[in-house]
Structure formats: C-alpha cells, structure tokens
Amino acid sequence: MAQAFGFKLDEVWGKRAFWLWFVGFYVAFMPLYALGLMGVTRRMNMYPDAGWQPYFIVAAIGALLILAGILCNFMNFYVSIRDRKQLACGNDPWDARTLEWATQSPPAPYNFPEDVNVVGREAFWQMKKENYQFSTDYQPIHMPKGTASGVIISGLALVFGFAMVWYIWWLAIASFVAMLAVGIAHTFNYHRDYYIPADEVRETESKGALA
C-alpha cells in the first residue's frame, strides 16, 4: 500500500484486524481438528453425537471473530483512504534495504531514470550509505505500451478450462480458437512501445525518487 499509493494503512484498525484474525483462526479451527479425530466427516446435515455440539459452537464463535477481522480490514481500507493525507509516508517509510523502495511513491511509469549497478542483495541500503544520487543528465526512457491481450487470453483460458471440465466441447473449441486468434493478432501489433521524454523524467525526478 505504501509503495503503490504513497500512504500507509491505519495502524489501529490493522491491529484490530490482526488480533481478530489470529484468535478467530485458532478458535474456529482447533475444535474442528478435534472433531475430525472424533470421526466427524465433511458436509454433514446432522450428527448423531450430542457431545460434538460444544465444539461446533466454539468453531462458530471463531468464524464470527474471523468475520469481524474481515470487516476490520475493509474498515481499514476506508479509514486509510479517507485519511490518506495524514498517512502519507514518502518513498521510504521503513528505512528499507531493498531496491524497490528507491523508486517514486506512488511509482512512476518507469523504474529508475538510469541503469542501476546492483552489487548486492541490499542495494538500496548501500546507495543510502554512499549518499548515491541519480544523474541529472536525463535521457528519454524506452517503455512498452499497455495491452489487453494478456487479460483477454486469460479470460478465454478460464472459459476453456471450465468447458473442458464439464465436457462442453463446442465452448472448449470456440475458446481455444479465440485464444489462438488473439495471440496471433497481437503479433501483428507493431505499435507496442513509446518513449517518455527527458523533460517528463526530469519533472518526475524533481519530486525526489531516491529517499
């Protein structure tokens, strides 16, 4: 969240969600494990032993705790988006060591304004120790254009898989042919890249990508 959108999630609601999920998981599933050892099977519409009832009640309470944790997660999203200006965290809120935190936050279309020489696993930490700064002699950056082909092929693959599972042969054939058609059509798309002008890179980097 911090790197993608430039602000952190609310800590109070995050802790509430964590503890409800943590406690709820054990309260919900530990009785079910015990019931499994007692011989309880899945998908029962009734059970013959009344002694199992307390275990199911405890498991239901745990499920309600998990539900409360899920609701806290959604509440956290709402509160964090509402208070995003107060929760703004900059590029490097946790004094990170890895290179992805050296980029803009929210991220720019490109990764870095120049090639970065990576000499170890904690490249960003090393860059901060050496007070590394990117060059100001910016050049246009070559970028790929976005395409919907991958998403379309994935959707068609989902339809193809569904059709194969249920033996819907006409749908399987149609979706398979459509996948091939979209893939072949994409190979004829020769306008699949562009350049970000140096002036735009300079303006973006003036916001301070390297913390």
For residue range 152-211, what is the model confidence (pLDDT) as tens digits? 999 999 999 999 999 999 999 999 999 999 999 999 999 999 999 999 999 888 876 554
Q: Which residues contact 57 (CB under 8 A, 6 or more apart)?
A: none
For the stretch 80-94, pLDDT in tens is 999 999 998 877 888
Task: Check residue 143 and report its DSSP letter.
Answer: E
**Overall average pLDDT of the 124-153 stretch:** 91
Look up residue 78 and give its two tokens: 């709402």
For the stretch 93-104, pLDDT in tens is 888 888 888 888
Asked if residue 19 has pLDDT above 50, the reply is: yes
Task: Check residue 91 and report its DSSP letter.
Answer: S
Residue located via tokens 């009640």: 57
Look at residue 211 in the predicted model and tell me its pLDDT.
Answer: 43
**23 exposure class (CB count in 10 Å sphere: 0-12, 13-18, 19+):** middle
